């Protein structure tokens, strides 16, 4: 399944905590599924440390290669949050207080101390478009085709739906699964023939073992619903034959 | 904390199931923690689809940039398992039957059908070194500085310990955490001063909310244990001051 650039994207996960293995990245899975429903394919994910030169070069590579880039992490108040400034540098834009973000944060921290760390969260690349946090706290932002999201998964889930109107969406990527109680190595040749018959469908084969029994989850993905229905029939026939063996 | 190339690595996760969001990648976290204990830092992770040209170019980029590269996924028996052949092409090596792997697989499938799909798992780049699967089934392999592992996390966990003797290890990367019941934005400035005082220590600040209360996990990482102990004292002092506010 090959997408035209119009419907492609990349995700850039920024954060030492993911690279050190301390934290398992959940944002990729959530963002990718959400984009899949809009017909936008994630073609590449890169996980990088909180290092300015790496953020700048990765971002500049990805934003030219794909229609959209989604970053997560590094937009908080502390010293290790350097994403916003790095994004500004990648675009050659000023890194400055966004007036609207400043007002939002000033209001949110009204009863407590609106200190330097908190003010930092209002600093963004010049001309950034805000992505609001419904809970009233620090907004995220976008610049051109780059969407700069927080690292905390619950915030990403809150913010992402706002972007639906902004993105050029394609046809929904439909995903259909068949659970075969058969080892994938038994069916490998037959499955390959079915894949050849349906070049527009990505057929993935994922072996598993559950309660001592082996099985295979066969996953079909495509934007063409009719073809998936046809393909599924062939796969079910194959599973039937092998289950009987 | 900057590592010399000798102690750096990258992970290349190969598989449409991760990019589509269907599966959450758990291998990165496991491999990175294991490498951290050996003093080897993961500097970059790339998640890519099962596409030959992308696998070849990504692998050739990473294996020159870092001391070690670990790939996961795409070495099974089915049509979508193209990693082994792509690795051979990346190295400009023949893709052929590995005699030892062939014997292992022939034995494993002795009582059932040693079909084409299963034979495929014995095909590897010329001169590959086997990484055994203790359960007796398909081995993984390495070529020069590239370690080609399966996608299934339980197999990765089984196989990784074998590589300990092969890798040049550094000083263990020590990771120490302090749990502060304080919002990270309150302490941002003070934390930044502590980071400046300890340039050899990576201090990460990870906000969380639990049962309605906000808090921050402060994580120190370094190969220098004495410095971490000093730094931790400063951080605990800071937390004490802010907790009292």
Interface touch B32/A45, C-beta < 8 Å: no
Interface touch A45/B120, C-beta < 8 Å: no
For A48-93, how does the pLDDT look when each residue is reduced to its tens digit (9 = 90+)? 999 999 999 999 999 999 999 999 999 999 999 999 999 999 999 9
- Mutation pick from A22, A48, A53, A221 vs chain B, by most beta carbons of B within 10 Å, is A22
CB pairs under 8 A between A and B: 206
Q: Is the domain of B130 the same as that of B180?
A: no
Distance from CA of A55 to the nearest CA of B (A): 11
- The pLDDT of residue B107 is 93
For B186-237, how does the pLDDT look when each residue is reduced to its tens digit (9 = 90+)? 999 999 999 999 999 999 999 988 877 889 999 999 999 999 999 999 999 9
For B127-142, how does the pLDDT look when each residue is reduced to its tens digit (9 = 90+)? 999 999 988 789 999 9
Q: Is the domain of B29 the same as that of B74?
A: yes
Which residue of chain A has the CA closest to B19? A42
- The pLDDT of residue A75 is 96
pLDDT tops 80 at residue B94: yes
pLDDT tops 80 at residue A40: yes
Place of tokens 């973000």: A101
- The pLDDT of residue B36 is 94
- Mutation pick from B21, B37, B219 vs chain A, by most beta carbons of A within 10 Å, is B21
Which of B22, B25, B117 is nearest residue A189 as measured by Cβ atoms?
Answer: B117
Interface touch B47/A26, C-beta < 8 Å: no
Q: Is the domain of A132 the same as that of A201?
A: no
Question: Which of B165, B185, B202 corresponds to the end of one domain?
Answer: B165
pLDDT tops 90 at residue A149: yes
Q: For residue A226, what is the domain's CATH number? A: 3.30.70.600
Cα–Cα distance, B34 to B160 (Å, whole number): 8
Which residue of chain A has the CA closest to B174? A20
**DSSP classification of residue A230:** H
Q: Is the domain of B133 the same as that of B202?
A: no
Question: Which of B165, B197, B226 corresponds to the end of one domain?
Answer: B165
Cα–Cα distance, A59 to B89 (Å, whole number): 28
ipTM of the complex: 0.93
Q: Is the domain of A110 the same as that of A182?
A: no
Interface touch B188/A115, C-beta < 8 Å: yes
Q: Is the domain of A201 the same as that of A146?
A: no
Which of A26, A49, A152 is nearest residue B43 as measured by Cβ atoms?
Answer: A49
- pLDDT band of residue A239 (cuts 50, 70, 90) is very high
Q: Which residues of B touch A24 (CB under 8 A)?
A: 24-26, 28-29
Q: Which two structure tokens, joined as six digits, stand for B73?
A: 């996924």
Q: Which two structure tokens, joined as six digits, stand for B71?
A: 């790939």
Q: Is the domain of A205 the same as that of A148?
A: no
Consecutive H or E run containing A25: none
Which of A17, A21, A117 is nearest residue B185 as measured by Cβ atoms?
Answer: A117
Torsion of CA B24, A3, A88, A81, to 10 degrees: 0
The average pLDDT across B6-25 equals 95
Which residue of chain A has the CA closest to B39? A20
Q: Is the domain of B151 the same as that of B58?
A: yes
Q: Which two structure tokens, joined as six digits, stand for B105?
A: 């697989």
Greatest pairwise CA separation for chain B in angstroms: 71
Residue A127 vs residues A94, A97, A111, A166, A167: alpha-carbon distances, Å: 9, 10, 29, 16, 19
Q: Which residues of B touch A35 (CB under 8 A)?
A: 21
Average pLDDT, chain B: 94
Which of A21, A115, A173 is nearest residue B189 as measured by Cβ atoms?
Answer: A115
- The pLDDT of residue A1 is 59
Q: Is the domain of A138 the same as that of A196?
A: no
Which residue of chain B has the CA closest to A208? B152
pLDDT tops 90 at residue A102: yes
Which of A35, A80, A152 is nearest residue B205 as measured by Cβ atoms?
Answer: A80
pLDDT tops 80 at residue B2: no
Distance from CA of B209 to the nearest CA of A (A): 10
Interface touch B76/A185, C-beta < 8 Å: yes
pLDDT tops 80 at residue A214: yes
- The pLDDT of residue B213 is 82
Domain span including residue A143:
5-165
Distance from CA of B47 to the nearest CA of A (A): 5
- pLDDT band of residue B124 (cuts 50, 70, 90) is very high
Interface touch A173/B20, C-beta < 8 Å: yes
* Among the ranges given (A13-27, A34-48, A207-221), the one the predictor scored with the smallest mean pLDDT: A207-221
For A159-201, how does the pLDDT look when each residue is reduced to its tens digit (9 = 90+)? 999 999 999 988 999 999 999 999 999 999 999 999 999 999 9
Which of B45, B173, B219 is nearest residue A17 as measured by Cβ atoms?
Answer: B219
Q: Is the domain of A11 the same as that of A70?
A: yes
pLDDT tops 90 at residue B58: yes
Question: Which of A109, A143, A165 corresponds to the end of one domain?
Answer: A165
DSSP chain B: ----GGGEEEEEEE-HHHHTSSS---HHHHHHHHHHHTT-EEEEEEEE-S-HHHHHHHHHHHHHHSSEEEEES--SSSTT--HHHHHHHHHT--EEE-HHHHHHHHHHTTTS---HHHHHTTEEETTPEEE--TTSS--EEEETTEEEE-SSHHHHHHHGGGGGGTS---S--EEEEEEESS-HHHHHHHHHHHHHH-TTSEEEEEEEEETTEEEEEEEEEES-HHHHHHHHHHHHHHHHHHHH-
Q: For residue A145, what is the domain's CATH number? A: 3.40.980.10
Residue A49 vs residues A14, A202, A224, B95: alpha-carbon distances, Å: 6, 32, 38, 35
Q: Is the domain of B32 the same as that of B120?
A: yes
Q: Is the domain of A19 the same as that of A127?
A: yes
Interface touch A185/B117, C-beta < 8 Å: yes
Number of domains, chain A: 2
The average pLDDT across B38-64 equals 97
Which of B47, B79, B187 is nearest residue A45 as measured by Cβ atoms?
Answer: B47
Which of B20, B32, B115 is nearest residue A21 as measured by Cβ atoms?
Answer: B32
- pLDDT band of residue B1 (cuts 50, 70, 90) is low
Q: Which residues of B touch A78 (CB under 8 A)?
A: 184-185, 187-188, 191-192, 205
Interface touch A20/B30, C-beta < 8 Å: no
Residue B12 vs residues A66, A128, B25, B44, B74: alpha-carbon distances, Å: 20, 32, 11, 9, 11
Phi first, then psi, for residue B124 (nearest 5°) are -145, 170
């Amino acid at each position: 399944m090959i997408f035209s650039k119009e419907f492609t994207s990349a995700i850039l996960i920024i954060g030492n905590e993911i690279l050190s293995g301390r934290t398992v990245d959940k944002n990729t899975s959530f963002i990718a599924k959400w984009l899949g429903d809009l017909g936008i394919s994630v073609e590449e994910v890169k996980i990088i440390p909180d290092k300015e030169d790496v953020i700048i070069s990765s971002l500049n590579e990805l934003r030219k290669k794909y229609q959209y880039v989604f970053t997560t992490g590094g937009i908080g108040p502390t010293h290790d949050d350097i994403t916003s400034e790095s994004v500004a540098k990648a675009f050659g834009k000023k890194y400055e207080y966004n007036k609207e973000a400043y007002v939002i944060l000033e209001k949110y921290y009204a009863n407590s101390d609106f200190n330097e760390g908190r003010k930092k969260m209002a600093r963004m690349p010049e001309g950034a478009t805000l992505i609001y946090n419904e809970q009233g706290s620090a907004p995220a932002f976008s610049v051109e085709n780059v969407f700069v999201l927080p690292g905390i998964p619950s915030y990403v889930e809150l913010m992402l739906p706002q972007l639906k109107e902004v993105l050029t969406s394609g046809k929904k990527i439909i995903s259909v699964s068949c659970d075969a109680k058969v080892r994938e190595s038994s069916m490998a040749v037959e499955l390959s023939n079915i894949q050849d018959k349906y070049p527009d469908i990505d057929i993935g084969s994922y072996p598993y073992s559950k309660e001592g029994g082996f099985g295979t989850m066969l996953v079909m993905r495509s934007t063409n619903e009719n073809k998936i229905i046809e393909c599924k029939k062939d796969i079910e026939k194959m599973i039937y034959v092998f289950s009987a063996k």
